[in-house]
Every structure is written in structure tokens, then in C-alpha cells.
A and B are shown apart, each in its own frame.
Chain A
Amino acid sequence: MTPFFIGWSARSGLRALGFLSPIVVALLTCFGALAFALAVVSDDPGGGDVIGEMRIEGTLIADPYPMIVTDAGHTILLSGGGKSGIQDEARPLDGKRVKAFGGHARRGDRDMLLVYELSAASGEGRAPTREPLGSWRLTGEICDGKCVLGVMRPGNKPVHKACANVCFIGGVPPVFVATTPVAGTRYLLMGGPDNRALPDAARDHMAALRRMDGTLERIGDAIVFRADIATAVVP
């Protein structure tokens, strides 16, 4: 006769132990092994990181998204604390010489300052070198600049889409991560065709592979991709 288990009876519980203890051990082993395997195959989030703080001085450009071009011609994107941009603080300083202090996020050749302090500096603003690079059709992913440069790891792909949109809604500058380097870099600053911020329609194309048309311009040492979101398609 097969044993019959009654939860409240200690005797039948003991009898059940013979059959169940190997099953429990197998289950524990299976859970441990799965945890190990699933954790080990985590995708590589890439090399971006917050690498400390920095103090910079240069000319502020407010559009399409705030950036500072240093005297050496290095272009640094600006973002606020948390998931917000600093458009409001940057706008009155457009074209002026400024100094800024904040956290330093970096991935590849692209830098971003997570601004704690921003103010006018003595001296004149200096128009940065600008070089139009013509019309392009590019394939890549619109990411929120902050996360993809290393504030969050990973900071791209569909699991990160809602988060990227929260950043975008808050005004953090988006960055286009091209599948192949364009004019020497995979990380392009973004804007709309009118040199303003990307329109809300960009949210449907965030954090997923898209192909879209636009124009490229080099500002300082960064490339700005002014994309026409209406042309975005799944490649």
C-alpha cells in the first residue's frame, strides 16, 4: 500500500521523508545550478562608467542639447542630476563662456558632465569649429545619453526602453549608438532637423535598432546627428 501523508500527523511526515529528501536535494542543486548559469551568461553591458568628478571651462552650446566645447576643442555633453536635463540653466548661457563642475561619465571617446554647478566664466565665448558632413542614413539605437555612457549598466536594449524614455522625458540628451562607426565614432549626439530637441515621437524608437535619415555636423570633436524621426524604420 502506498503511504498516505497527513500533514498534521508526525508519523506520516517521517514516512514521507524517505521519498522526498532526495527530491528536495535535487531541487536545491537545480536551483543553485540555474542561478549560477543564468547569472554567468549575463550580457556584457560594455565599458561605460562614472569615473569621478571633473571641472571644465569652455563655450556653452544650448541646442539641440546642452554641451560645452573646451578651448582644446573637446565637446562634452551636459546633463542634470538624476533623470533630468539642464536646458533651463543652460539656455541663458548659450554661446557664453562658462565653467562647470560635476560627475564624469565616459564611454569610448564620449564624455558627459553630470552637472552640479554651472555658471558664467570671465572671458568671451568662442564659437566652436563646425563642419557639415552632409545627409546620412544611419542604423543604430537611440539611447539615453546618461545611461549608455555608463551611469547604468546596461543602458541600452528594450529592457531599458522605459527607463530611457523616463530620461528623455526629463530632458537628458539622447545619444545615437551607430552599429558601425560614422566619421570615426559610434556615439553621436542627437537633435531634431530644426536643431531643437528630438520630438516626443522619438519615444517609440528608443532603445531598439532603427534606421533613419538625417544630417551630420561636427561640433568641436563630437558628431551631431540631426535625425528626421518620421523616417525611422526597423532595419
Chain B
Amino acid sequence: MPDIGRLRKRGNQEIVYDLTALALIGVYIWVFLWIAPAFQHVTRPLDAYSARMNAFGTCAFLLLTVILSIGPLVRLDPRFAPLLYNRRHLGVMTAAVAATHADAALDWYFSFSPYDRFEMLLRGNTSFQQVHGFPFELFGIFAFSVLVLLAATSHDFWLRFLTPRVWKTLHMLLYAAYASVVAHIALGALQAAANPLLAIVVLACATTVATLHIFASRRRAETAAIVGAWLDAGPVDAIAEDHGIVVTPPKGEAIAIFRHAGRLSAVTNLCAHQNGPLGEGRVVDGCITCPWHGYQYRLEDGCAPPPFTEKLATYRLRIAEGRVQVDPVANPPGTLVEPVTIP
């Protein structure tokens, strides 16, 4: 089977993206570990392991904040879309940064004892009944496990193996991981910090992520009205040439309706790649083009043009009194539905 990722032409974007992400991490760690210490007001410097824990821990948290903000940002302003294109690489880099943090913690706090360091990580602190002194490491371990799981399954092989739906559900765990990191910091570092800056930064980041998601979710379409066995998708004029709209039926997946060369076609709103929102894409070169990674599908049958093999479910359309109506029953993926000509 041809591999879409490999066959599609790759611009220099991926390299630019990865270099930018690495620069972000590089600048952060360099300033934290090599520039700032000269300006600290301390009797004696922190030891190198603690400094590394703090630098890489906070860096991983900030990267997670960026990653989780990209989705709603793109929804609010499509010009952010390029940030989404290689989000997976950013995720893998974040897992590596978090691993450096966890490794410093294990090497320092949990080593040098007669016992195994992983055993000590779990057995060292068992004060579950306390807030001030809670084994906050557990929240870190959970978050780290999620990051590793997602990094390990980030390749397109796993996407196909698990199906996009399962893969996407799995990636929702990232929200749990983020909440867990906030708990990790709140019950750990913040219990000891004399300066409120870390608390302020963590609160600001978590608030930003939450607010962006609330605003972006407001932009979701309302459930469409039912007309007999059909769904009302609004006036024909509301669909711009080469653009799409999203219709949400009372039950089942959202439907994307596109207008191209005076004709309308409907497919599922879920991209066959990573379930990206096709309705927010465009028609490019006569094909529906996903806003996330640019996978393309033919308007009439939802099939990716050869040599690609992805297929989308299609839907029947009709126009009644200047309004578009869609049959909410999906056709099997790849079913030919002749596009409806706009009168």
C-alpha cells in the first residue's frame, strides 16, 4: 500500500518547523542553565541536578501549553494552521524534554541508596493523606507515561493500525496529562516556592489553554433542523466557492458540504488521516483538501486520487427553495454521488 506521507511532496516546512521547535527548546534551556544563574541571589548555587530538573520540567510544561493551544488557535484563525502540520514532532520533542527532567529526578533524588531507584520512586513517599507533602511525583509519572505512549504511537503506522478514531481518542489523554502536570507542580514545587512566579506562570498557562478551548468550541455549528428525512443545511448562498460548511446532525458524525464549479457535494467532516475537520478545508485542484495535513479527496466519491487509497463516506444532497438539504444517512466510504448542480 502506498504510504501517503512518503509519496506526498514534502516542502522545506517540516525542516523549518522542527528547527524552530528545537530553537525554542534550545533558547529556553540555554537561558535557564547558562545565563540566568549569574543573576540569582543565592548563598550557594542550586546543585546541577536540581537546576536541570527545574529547567527541563518547566520547559516541558510550557511546550505542552503550546501544543494544546494550537488546535483552538487554528479553529479561531486558520492562519495558525502551519503550526498544526507537524504538531506530532513537537509532541515527541516534549516527551524527550520531560524524560530529561524525570531522569535528573531519578538520578538525584532516588539514586545512591542501597535500594532500586524505581522502587524508591514509588515507595519513598507514601503520605497520601497530606496535601503539603503528597507524593506529587505520581502525577508526573502519569503525565510522562501518556507522553511516552503518544510519542511511541505517533507514527502513521499506528494511526492506521489503531484506526484514526481510536488514535484520536488516545490523544485526548493529553488533556489528562496536562491536568496531571498542573497537579504535579501544584503539590510539589509550589508547596515549597517562596516566590509566586511559578504559580503565576502555571495559572496563566492553564487559563490560556482553557479559555482558548472555550472560545473555539463556541464556533462549533449548531445542530441542524430536520425536514422530513432530510437535514436543513442552510441557504446555498452561505457556501462560498471552493469552501465548505459543517452540518451537525442530531445523531452521528458531522457532515461537510463543499461548493465547486457551481456544484455541491457532501462527505463526512472527519478526515481519514487524523480525523481533521474537512469542512474547514478548501477545494484545491478540484479536490477537498484537509486543513490539517493536506490529504485530498475527490468531490464526487470521497476517494483520495490515485495512488492514494483513503476513502470518505459520502452523503446525498438536494436543493429545495434555495436551501441545501442533506440525507443524514452516510453512504459506504467511496460511494459515487453525482454532485448537485446549483440552479
Give A residues with C-beta under 8 Å from B: 2-10, 13, 16, 19-20, 24, 27-28, 31-32, 34-49, 81-84, 150, 152-154, 157-163, 165-167, 169-170, 203-204, 206-209, 234
Asked whether, in the complex, the Cβ of A82 is within 8 Å of the Cβ of B43, the reply is no
* In the assembled complex, B198 has its CB within 8 A of some CB on chain A: yes
Taking A8-B8, A20-B79, A203-B125 as known contacts, 9 extra A-B pairs with beta carbons closer than 8 A to each other, sorted by chain A number, are: A13-B82, A36-B31, A39-B55, A83-B113, A152-B50, A162-B124, A166-B124, A169-B113, A203-B127
Asked whether, in the complex, the Cβ of A38 is within 8 Å of the Cβ of B201, the reply is yes
* In the assembled complex, B44 has its CB within 8 A of some CB on chain A: yes
Asked whether, in the complex, the Cβ of A158 is within 8 Å of the Cβ of B11, the reply is no
Complex: A203 Cα to B135 Cα, angstroms = 12
Least distance between B29 CB and chain A CB atoms (Å): 7
Asked whether, in the complex, the Cβ of B284 is within 8 Å of the Cβ of A6, the reply is yes
Asked whether, in the complex, the Cβ of B191 is within 8 Å of the Cβ of A5, the reply is no
Complex: A16 Cα to B11 Cα, angstroms = 13
Asked whether, in the complex, the Cβ of A9 is within 8 Å of the Cβ of B11, the reply is yes
11 contacts between A and B (CB under 8 A): A4-B289, A13-B11, A34-B28, A37-B197, A38-B201, A40-B40, A44-B43, A159-B189, A161-B124, A161-B133, A208-B132
Complex: A24 Cα to B54 Cα, angstroms = 24
A residues within 8 A CB of B284? 4, 6
Contacting residue for B54 out of A32, A42, A166, CB 8 A:
A42
Contacting residue for A166 out of B113, B133, B187, B289, CB 8 A:
B113
Report the contact-size class of chain B (Cβ under 8 Å from the partner).
35 or more
* In the assembled complex, B142 has its CB within 8 A of some CB on chain A: no
Least distance between A145 CB and chain B CB atoms (Å): 15
Complex: A46 Cα to B46 Cα, angstroms = 9
What 8 A-B pairs are tightest by C-beta distance, nearest first? A39-B36, A157-B192, A162-B124, A82-B112, A163-B109, A83-B113, A162-B125, A7-B85
Contacting residue for A159 out of B36, B80, B191, B294, CB 8 A:
B191
Complex: A44 Cα to B195 Cα, angstroms = 11
A residues within 8 A CB of B79? 2-3, 5, 16, 19-20
B residues within 8 A CB of A44? 41-43
A residues within 8 A CB of B157? none
B residues within 8 A CB of A154? 46, 50, 192
Kindly identify, within residues 98 to 119 of chain B, every residue whose CB is under 8 Å from any CB belonging to chain A: 108-115
Instruction: Write the chain B residue with the least CB distance to A2.
Output: B78
Contacting residue for B115 out of A34, A40, A160, A170, CB 8 A:
A170
Contacting residue for B10 out of A8, A81, A84, A150, CB 8 A:
A8
Complex: A152 Cα to B45 Cα, angstroms = 11
Contacting residue for B120 out of A20, A161, A166, CB 8 A:
A166
* In the assembled complex, B1 has its CB within 8 A of some CB on chain A: no
* In the assembled complex, B261 has its CB within 8 A of some CB on chain A: no
Asked whether, in the complex, the Cβ of B31 is within 8 Å of the Cβ of A39, the reply is yes
The contact string, 1 if C-beta is below 8 Å from chain A, for chain B 7-22, is 0111111101000100
Least distance between B292 CB and chain A CB atoms (Å): 8
* In the assembled complex, B229 has its CB within 8 A of some CB on chain A: no
The contact string, 1 if C-beta is below 8 Å from chain A, for chain B 259-300, is 000000000000000000000011010000101011000000
Instruction: Write the chain A residue with the least CB distance to B79.
Output: A19
B residues within 8 A CB of A3? 79
Least distance between B200 CB and chain A CB atoms (Å): 10
Least distance between B274 CB and chain A CB atoms (Å): 12
A residues within 8 A CB of B191? 157-159
B residues within 8 A CB of A42? 40, 42, 46, 51, 54
A residues within 8 A CB of B54? 38-39, 42
Asked whether, in the complex, the Cβ of A165 is within 8 Å of the Cβ of B44, the reply is no
Instruction: Write the chain B residue with the least CB distance to A207.
Output: B133
Contacting residue for A204 out of B36, B55, B133, B192, CB 8 A:
B133
A residues within 8 A CB of B9? 8-10
Instruction: Write the chain B residue with the least CB distance to A82.
Output: B112
Given contacts A10-B11, A19-B79, A45-B44, contact A35 B109 (CB under 8 A): no
Least distance between B19 CB and chain A CB atoms (Å): 11
Complex: A19 Cα to B83 Cα, angstroms = 11
Complex: A32 Cα to B51 Cα, angstroms = 16
Contacting residue for A13 out of B13, B111, B115, CB 8 A:
B13
Instruction: Write the chain A residue with the least CB distance to B86.
Output: A7
Asked whether, in the complex, the Cβ of B78 is within 8 Å of the Cβ of A4, the reply is yes
Contacting residue for B112 out of A40, A83, A161, CB 8 A:
A83
Instruction: Write the chain B residue with the least CB distance to A150.
Output: B44
* In the assembled complex, B188 has its CB within 8 A of some CB on chain A: yes
Complex: A188 Cα to B62 Cα, angstroms = 41
A residues within 8 A CB of B187? 158
Kindly identify, within residues 159 to 189 of chain B, every residue whose CB is under 8 Å from any CB belonging to chain A: 187-189
Least distance between B82 CB and chain A CB atoms (Å): 5
